[in-house]
Amino acid sequence: MAGEPESSSPIPITLLSGFLGSGKTTLLNRLVRQPAMARALVIINEFGEIGLDHRLFTASQENVQVELSNGCLCCAVRGDLVKTLSDAPWRFARQGQRQFDRVVIESSGLADPAPVLHTLARHPRLMRRYRLDGVVTTVDAVNGASTLERFDEARRQVTLADLLLVTKREMSDPASRSRLEARLDSLNPAAPRLTIEHGELDAERLLGIGAPREGASLAEAFVWINAAANDALAPLHSAAPAAKHDPGVESFSITFDRPIPPARLEEWLELSQTLMGERMLRFKGLLDLEGRTRPTVIHGVQHLIHPPVELDAWPDDERGSRLVFITKDLPREELTRSLRDFLVG
């Protein structure tokens, strides 16, 4: 592809999701005015024949902007997204210099983020050029709880988020706020939650919220994996229940001292998708794989499993693997047994 060398480091992508009217465009307008997002390529997906969001969005001078209309990102225009992202480095280049250094995709309010994440994680051309920096989901404090009751898409948007932003808090009453908090606890206890008003948020808060990237330090990976475990991490080979959530939601960790054969891990991942599916809300792993000199990070959300990434290095001879799970209605014994059988059995 013209315009830039293949070897340049992958361009981070932030996926901004959230149900209809939850405040995505309001947030985006604030974000792109800040230095951290000033050179973002903004891709706006709208649903319906006459999209409005791109008119409501007011890019800063440096931003480049693309609209994907007439369909939903998760189905009809997924091919357009691949083409837009594939072409962008040279399409938005001046004198051979790429004009953006990150991408923000605002998906339509009805989009399920999973297919988009699959596309970003699996499409050969996109995988080389881009990396997912995280999924941010806005949830409206007034309607959020009932929206989450009623719409599967809204639940998927919350479940897949690395960061949840609760909007319109000043318009909501305490009862609907606590109903919403309980619902968010149940759907995604791992994601940090922030309250924002009228899209006011430091753009830096959105950077690096997903998994550690290739070559990241082990220290960074520890912060990431610990965030998923809440208070369940401390005791090895066991777990305490996570702090607060619906019945049926559990958070726990499992460790292995011996290196894990990569082929066994792959088999287990396939099996877990089939057998556990949506009962596996989230898993994160920091692994010592047989034959690899560096630590490997894997993670997944329900059926979606991201490609493994290798970190910088082990600090010394002390190695080991740790997996953290957040599950719903999935007996811990069943999961632990399948892991032990497959990974070290």
Ligand X SMILES: Nc1nc2c(ncn2[C@@H]2O[C@H](COP(=O)(O)OP(=O)(O)OP(=O)(O)O)[C@@H](O)[C@H]2O)c(=O)[nH]1
Binding mask 261-300 for ligand X (x = CB under 6 A): ----------------------------------------
**Residue of 78, 129, 131, 168 interacting with ligand X (CB under 6 A):** 168
User: If binding is defined by CB under 6 A, does position 20 make contact with ligand X?
Assistant: yes
User: If binding is defined by CB under 6 A, does position 38 make contact with ligand X?
Assistant: no
Q: Which residue stretch of 96-104, 197-205, 222-230, 238-246 sits at the interface with ligand X (rule: CB under 6 A)? A: 197-205
Q: Which residue stretch of 87-95, 165-173, 211-219, 224-232 sits at the interface with ligand X (rule: CB under 6 A)? A: 165-173
Q: For ligand X, give the closer residue by CB, 167 or 253.
A: 167
**Residue of 53, 67, 80, 250 interacting with ligand X (CB under 6 A):** 53
Tokens of 337: 């047994």
Q: For ligand X, give the closer residue by CB, 14 or 25.
A: 25
71 CB contacts (<8 Å, ≥6 apart)? Answer: 47, 77, 80
User: If binding is defined by CB under 6 A, does position 23 make contact with ligand X?
Assistant: yes
Amino acid residing at 37: M
Cα 136 to chain center, whole Å? Answer: 7
Q: How far is the CB of 168 from ligand X (least distance, A)?
A: 4
| Cα end-to-end distance, the chain, whole Å | 46
Q: Is the dihedral of CA 118, 218, 133, 251 positive or negative?
A: positive
- The residue number whose beta carbon is nearest to ligand X equals 109
**Residue of 197, 220, 310, 312 interacting with ligand X (CB under 6 A):** 197
Tokens of 115: 């297919």
- Classify strands 163-167 and 130-140 as parallel, antiparallel or unpaired: parallel
d(CA 287, CA 166): 33
User: If binding is defined by CB under 6 A, does position 18 make contact with ligand X?
Assistant: yes
**Residue of 25, 45, 172, 327 interacting with ligand X (CB under 6 A):** 25
User: If binding is defined by CB under 6 A, does position 24 make contact with ligand X?
Assistant: yes
What is the layout of strands, in order, in the sheet containing 11-18? 64-68, 40-45, 102-106, 11-18, 130-140, 163-167, 193-195
Q: How far is the CB of 26 from ligand X (least distance, A)?
A: 3
Residue 4, SS3 per DSSP: coil
User: If binding is defined by CB under 6 A, does position 188 make contact with ligand X?
Assistant: no
Under rule CB under 6 A, how many of the chain's residues touch ligand X? Answer: 16
Whose tokens are 């892991």? That residue is 339
Whose tokens are 């949840």? That residue is 164
> How many residues belong to the chain?
345
Q: How far is the CB of 217 from ligand X (least distance, A)?
A: 35
Residue 309, beta-bridge partner list: 297
User: If binding is defined by CB under 6 A, does position 167 make contact with ligand X?
Assistant: yes
284 CB contacts (<8 Å, ≥6 apart)? Answer: 211, 224, 225, 228, 297, 298, 299, 323, 324
User: If binding is defined by CB under 6 A, does position 54 make contact with ligand X?
Assistant: no
Q: Which residue stretch of 192-200, 209-217, 294-302, 305-313 sits at the interface with ligand X (rule: CB under 6 A)? A: 192-200
Residues that bind ligand X (CB under 6 A): 18, 20-26, 53, 109, 167-168, 171, 197-199
